[in-house]
Amino acid sequence: MMSKAEKTRQFIVEKTAPIFNRKGFAGTSINDIVEATGLTKGSIYGNFESKDEVALAAFDYNYGNVVALIKSKMAGKPHNIDKLKVYLTVFSDFVNLPMLHGGCPVLNTAIESDDTHGQLRAKAVGAIENWYGHLEKVINDGVEAGQIKQGTNAKDFAGAFIALIEGGIMLAKVTGKMQGLKAAMKQAEKMIKDIAT
């Protein structure tokens, strides 16, 4: 059972995570946090040392939700090709997923923090490395199971696949149109078909 302090911290994170994902670290003020939570500045700073600490926890929360969604959609899918297709299903529909209303938390954080916030950048790098690792495992497992062609370069596939998905999301967010995302997802789907046995 969580303590009162842990519940308050969790409440603050849950209420502010969508704001940080939409507005970014620089765009989110302490007043935004106060308004979202209905708590005082004193209560916020009584639970977190700084806005930085709230932002880091918010990233973990946002990223954790995306990972949990992907894992839940992959559960029960024994075929590794189907596991890869889960990414297309989830990210093609990002505008309808509450956790992704502001876009992909990894992409948003990576772009904003690359030169400005070392701790957030490290979180984004860790998330991308985890994504690479997961894709490589799915591909290597698929090769071993005879579902994916021998000789498939898992690392190269993962890099191009991630770039297509994140690039498509970026195009959709910037233009307000789904055309770029749809084109990227179509190419990602072709990549999957090309490695299937």
Domain regions of the chain by residue span: 4-195
Q: Does residue 48 have a pLDDT over 90?
A: yes
* CA–CA gap between residue 46 and residue 60 (Å, rounded): 20
φ and ψ at residue 49, rounded to 5 degrees: -70, -30
* CA–CA gap between residue 90 and residue 128 (Å, rounded): 17
Q: Does residue 40 have a pLDDT over 80?
A: yes
> Of all residues in the chain, what percent carry a pLDDT higher than 70?
98
Q: Does residue 121 have a pLDDT over 70?
A: yes
Q: Which residue has the tokens 């991308």?
A: 128
Which range has the worst mean pLDDT, 85-94, 102-111, 138-147, 165-174?
102-111
Q: Which CATH architecture has domain 4-195?
A: Orthogonal Bundle (1.10)
Q: Say what the pLDDT of residue 99 is.
A: 65
Q: Return the closest-CA partner of residue 62 out of 94, 35, 85, 34.
A: 94
pLDDT (mean) for 18-39? 94
Cβ contact 15:36 at 8 Å: yes
pLDDT band of residue 108 (cuts 50, 70, 90) is confident
pLDDT band of residue 2 (cuts 50, 70, 90) is confident
pLDDT (mean) for 177-183? 94
pLDDT (mean) for 146-153? 98
pLDDT (mean) for 50-73? 94
Cβ contact 18:103 at 8 Å: no
Q: What is the Cα gyration radius of the chain? A: 18
Q: Say what the pLDDT of residue 103 is.
A: 78
